[in-house]
Amino acid sequence: MLKPGPAKKVSIYVGETHKYHGQSLYSAILNYLFYHGISGAMVTRGVAGFGADHHLHSTRIEALTTDLPMKIEFIETADKVEEVLPKLRELAGTGLIEIQDTQVAKPAEEEKGKRAEAGLPPFKRQSQAKLMQIFLGENDKWRGQPLHKALIESMRANDIAGVTVYQGILGYGAHRRMHKDSALHLAHDHPIMLAVVETEEKLQAYFPILDQMMQQGLVVLSEVEVIKYAHRSGSGEPGQEARA
């Protein structure tokens, strides 16, 4: 984290159309900085400029193709800059990297709720649980509403921690009727899967409700190991967490 005092300001200049492994180069550089602990970075887009090849880049309407200059800029400690500089040279390619001495008068502050957690390692919780997967069709109904939406509401009402709904693009079930996504079909019946991770006790208590709502479909129950990282409170103990 930045502190008041001497620091380095790094500016990297690349072209808007430059690529790195199939993605925009400026985006790749920003991602590298983000995942290597740089305090903050900003990308700005120029409206005109030229580089070492003396080719003029402009946003003028009469220009049919544009490759506008992009600048990625960040401020960090000298040690951190030295750490990331070799990879930045590789990423920048034919671009320009500029480093200036600067002075941090006031570093950016984190939100109040996160400030107390700064510097504390995450607390790892590990336990056994059950994964319940429910497979049904998008057009399946329960009392006039889509079944998957009704199941979500009933799980929430019965204190199930959380559920994720996945929409398939192709599949078939016990009736061997193909469910697919096609522009040629006016009515879609995509396959739907609901995934729930919960304790066995909670799921067992919910099964009678599920039996009433599920007229057809498939329910699969599997053993899973839950690994969850939670922020510690200022006392060093895991804080209270709100349930989904």
CATH of the domain at 30: 3.30.70.120
- Looking at residue 188, its pLDDT comes to 62
pLDDT at position 9 over 60: yes
- State the Cα–Cα distance between residues 51 and 106, nearest whole angstrom: 34
- Looking at residue 244, its pLDDT comes to 40
Residues 138 and 224 in one domain: yes
pLDDT at position 185 over 80: no
85-102: average pLDDT: 93
The three state secondary structure string of the chain is CCCCEEEEEEEEEEECCCEECCEEHHHHHHHHHHHCCCCCEEEEECCEEECCCCCEEECCCCCCCCCCEEEEEEEECHHHHHHHHHHHHHHHCCCEEEEEEEEECCCCCCCHHHHCCCCCCCEEEEEEEEEEEEEEECCCEECCEEHHHHHHHHHHHCCCCCEEEEECCEEECCCCCEEECCCCCCCCCCEEEEEEEECHHHHHHHHHHHHHHCCCCEEEEEEEEEEEEECECCCCCECCCCCC
151-160: average pLDDT: 92
**165 or 240: which carries more pLDDT confidence?**
165
pLDDT at position 174 over 60: no
Residues 225 and 128 in one domain: yes
**172 or 129: which carries more pLDDT confidence?**
129
- Looking at residue 217, its pLDDT comes to 85
> Which residues have a Cβ under 8 Å from the Cβ of 239 and sit 6 or more positions away?
230, 231, 232, 233
Q: How far apart are the first and last CA of the chain?
A: 31
Domain count of the chain?
2
Residues 96 and 188 in one domain: no
18-30: average pLDDT: 90
- Looking at residue 16, its pLDDT comes to 86
- Residues 167 and 117: beta-carbon distance below 8 Å: no
Confidence of residue 68 (pLDDT cuts 50, 70, 90): confident
pLDDT at position 231 over 70: no
Tell whether 235 is covered by a domain: no
- Looking at residue 64, its pLDDT comes to 45
Q: By residue range, what is the domain housing residue 79? A: 5-106
Residues 33 and 88 in one domain: yes
Residues 140 and 214 in one domain: yes
